[in-house]
Structure 1
Amino acid sequence: MKLAVKIMAMRKQRGWSQEELAQQLSVSRQSVSKWESGASVPDLDKILKMSEIFDVSTDALLKEEMDLNERNTVFEDLQNERMKMEPPDRGNFVNNQNDTQQQFGEDTRNEEIPTHHVSMQEAKDYIEWAKHKAPWIALGTFLCVLSPVWLLLLGGTAEYKVLPITEDMAGGMGIAILLCMVAVAVAIFIIKGTPQERFQFFETQHLIADEEVRAMILEEKQEFALLSRKCVVTGVVLSILSVVPMMLMAAFSMPDIYYIYSLGVLLIFVAIATFFFVWSGTIAGSYRILLEEDDYSLKNKQNSGRRTQISRIYWCSVTAIFLAVSFLTNRWDLTWIIWACAGVLCGTVSAIMSLSRR
């Protein structure tokens, strides 16, 4: 087995991303990427460092005749011997398992996740499918963010007699437009966002790709990186500028109706920014899925079932709290804030869970 394949395999067995391995070796992620694609060979000092990190000998890294199947066989023999020598106590078994994992640089939790070998054509098809669905998913998100604008504008113009309509008419028309836009967005999400059957397991199974396949994915990822950064910069700038009209209204003490107009402008800017975020994020996410990086690393996949259960419990609880507070207070105009707070808190809880796993 070649050195490039061994580095990639041992990194994945420990559930590390390329960035995490690069930090431990004090090199850039691009260097690790080149090593794994076979474009370059690590220096001797880096090979020595990797032997310490993976807890294997330098011969195991450099000797092409040795493969991971041999290591797995030795691992199983050693574990069986320890189980014979010690009583089947769960605490001892876990400790023995951890000791063996440290000795051989291997995480046996990989066995709990099905493995799939990704071919070149399969990787290309998945990337093309992600590029096809990205603008549609971004459009659906754009419509969802933009949907309250007409409700706000019609309600404000009716309240301040800008248009000859009653507040009930304005509310009815605004909600009708909102529901129509959300309905279109949901239809887009279902039709375009549902993965094809052959791609459904990509986010849950352990993906293995040959050097040529990984090199192709890395090349496309690097080519898209510049465009992705431009999209993120554009989205951030629009998000910041979205507040400017409202600040100007306050600075010049404009009539209240202008605050409503500025709020509509804010939502339009945020909707456009969200379009850029979602479009670039969807395409970039396809590369991370194929390379098993960041949120799609092997370690995160191993904990996906637990996260799913916690997420279900969390959002069901939030829904129950929202309905209870809304019905008890009858302040539906204010209780929507619960969802905004719940969304922010969800991100916080997710970050805490990630830190605790480390």
Structure 2
Amino acid sequence: MRLGQKIADLRKKNNLSQEDLAEEMNVSRQAVSKWESDQSIPDIEKIVNLSEFFGVTTDYLLKNGTPSFEFKSEDIATEEKMPVLSDDLVQKYLFAVKRNSKLRALVAALVVFSPVCIYFAGALAIFLGPRNGQLPFIISLIGYATTVVTIAIALGLLVYSIFNMREFTQLKEQNFDFIEEKKRLTSTIQEFHQTKDKYVVFACVLGVLSIISPMIDGFSHFSSMGSLIAWGIFFLILSIALYLLASYVFYKNYLSILIKRKKHLPTNLHKLFIYGSWFYLFVVLGLYYIFSRYFVDMFSASNILYLGIISYCLFTYFFIKEKAE
């Protein structure tokens, strides 16, 4: 049997369209069509990816042979298949994922929420005024202390969530049959979309609503107390939106480990990316220092940080998208 026919048979056996397979292999549908019609041959990297995705060996794809068109999964030798995860391990992992995705989302939300304590405590201190002696100072101090405690709790939850997932580190290597796991988790995937997709909608709505109070503050020129309250409301709403969005993203990422092969940067590019990131950080901080010290009237130094962060995020996204394997 030709390579193209084997690819087509494996695709049909797993109920995949050419578009589905193209998405998994990170190629166009036309490329898959040419593979199956023997107009072109996948490169070595794609052959390896195909063998891992379908749970067969590269020898099976490349060697000559004439099996029948309607072959079954048992026609492939057992040693050519990737192992299937046990039901107990999968259920245990899914239970840990539900809990851990909420913990990670709570960590992100608490970090964003932490300034709220300072803003509201500052507003209350201004409202009380100096006529109350040391009370405004004590309230402000409580606000700062609460912020530190909130960040400490977030850090503790982050460490705890990392420990929770230690026993599943072997799953990150993804040495199992993705096709089989995706079939077994069909109901779980459907349940995820039915319950979690609305989180993204609510998060987007809250994210837009959160900017209303800073906008009103900017246009209305509130007093110091009013500005503190406006920004406190902003971070409060934003923290709720972030919790909803992060719980969706973390759950989806954890679940995708079982049903979709993760892409990673090659070791040499990963090291280059890390070293380059540190170098970029020092460059941005250096430019920020220079502009804040010598060019204050010409250019806002804070814009250097904003542009640096945006540029870094865009570069990271496209770099990983292009180079990850």
When normalised by structure 2's length, the TM-score is: 0.66
1:5–1:211 contact (8 Å) kept in structure 2: no
Give the deviation of 1:119 after TM superposition: 0.8
Question: Aligned pair in 2 of structure 1 residues 188, 218: CA closer, same or farther (>3 Å)?
Answer: same
1:184 partnered with 2:150: no
Give structure 2 stretches of 5+ with no counterpart.
1-5, 43-49, 51-55, 65-80, 294-299
Q: In 1, Cα distance between the equivalents of 2:221 and 2:291?
A: 37
What does residue 29 of structure 2 align with?
Answer: 24
Return structure 1 stretches of 4+ with deviation > 6 angstroms. 5-8, 46-49, 326-330, 334-339
Q: In 2, Cα distance between the equivalents of 1:169 and 1:325?
A: 34
Residues 200-249 of structure 1: CA deviation (Å, up to 9, x unaligned): 2433x243316442202343223211322200010010000011223334
What does residue 113 of structure 2 align with?
Answer: 146
Question: Aligned pair in 2 of structure 1 residues 120, 356: CA closer, same or farther (>3 Å)?
Answer: same
What does residue 55 of structure 1 align with?
Answer: 41
What does residue 85 of structure 2 align with?
Answer: 119
The within-5 A match list for 1:263-282 is 263-282=231-250
Structure 2 residue corresponding to 1:318, chosen from 269, 281, 296: 281
Q: In 2, Cα distance between the equivalents of 1:174 and 1:326?
A: 30
Structure 2 residue corresponding to 1:69, chosen from 52, 59, 78: 59
Residues 29-67 of structure 1: CA deviation (Å, up to 9, x unaligned): xxxxxxxxxxxxxxxxx97774458738xxxx9xxxx96
Greater relative contact order (Cα < 8 A, sep 6+): 1
Give SS of 1:200's match: helix
Q: In 2, Cα distance between the equivalents of 1:179 and 1:346?
A: 28
Give SS of 2:171's match: coil
Give the deviation of 1:71 after TM superposition: 3.6
Q: What value does the CA root-mean-square deviation take over the aligned residues? A: 4.4
The within-5 A match list for 1:246-285 is 246-285=214-253
1:242–1:270 contact (8 Å) kept in structure 2: yes
Greater displacement, 134-143 / 321-330: 321-330
Q: In 1, Cα distance between the equivalents of 2:222 and 2:208?
A: 21
When normalised by structure 1's length, the TM-score is: 0.61
Question: Aligned pair in 2 of structure 1 residues 186, 16: CA closer, same or farther (>3 Å)?
Answer: farther
Residues 277-316 of structure 1: CA deviation (Å, up to 9, x unaligned): 11111111122222225xx2xxx22536623551354147
Question: Aligned pair in 2 of structure 1 residues 305, 153: CA closer, same or farther (>3 Å)?
Answer: farther
1:230 partnered with 2:220: no
Q: In 2, Cα distance between the equivalents of 1:329 and 1:166?
A: 36
Residues 160-189 of structure 1: CA deviation (Å, up to 9, x unaligned): 764745886565433322211111111101
1:322–1:335 contact (8 Å) kept in structure 2: no
1:242–1:269 contact (8 Å) kept in structure 2: yes
Q: In 2, Cα distance between the equivalents of 1:235 and 1:193?
A: 25
Q: In 2, Cα distance between the equivalents of 1:206 and 1:187?
A: 28
Question: Aligned pair in 2 of structure 1 residues 289, 304: CA closer, same or farther (>3 Å)?
Answer: farther
Question: Aligned pair in 2 of structure 1 residues 354, 134: CA closer, same or farther (>3 Å)?
Answer: closer
Residues 1-42 of structure 1: CA deviation (Å, up to 9, x unaligned): 89347887x99xxx9643846x5169xxxxxxxxxxxxxxxx
Identity, in percent, stands at 14
Structure 1 residue corresponding to 2:143, chosen from 170, 174, 179: 174
Residues 266-287 of structure 1: CA deviation (Å, up to 9, x unaligned): 0001100010011111111122
Give SS of 2:264's match: helix
Q: In 2, Cα distance between the equivalents of 1:233 and 1:272?
A: 13
Give SS of 1:301's match: coil
What does residue 301 of structure 1 align with?
Answer: 264
Give SS of 1:123's match: helix
1:242–1:266 contact (8 Å) kept in structure 2: yes
Give structure 1 stretches of 5+ with no counterpart.
27-45, 75-114
Give SS of 1:311's match: helix
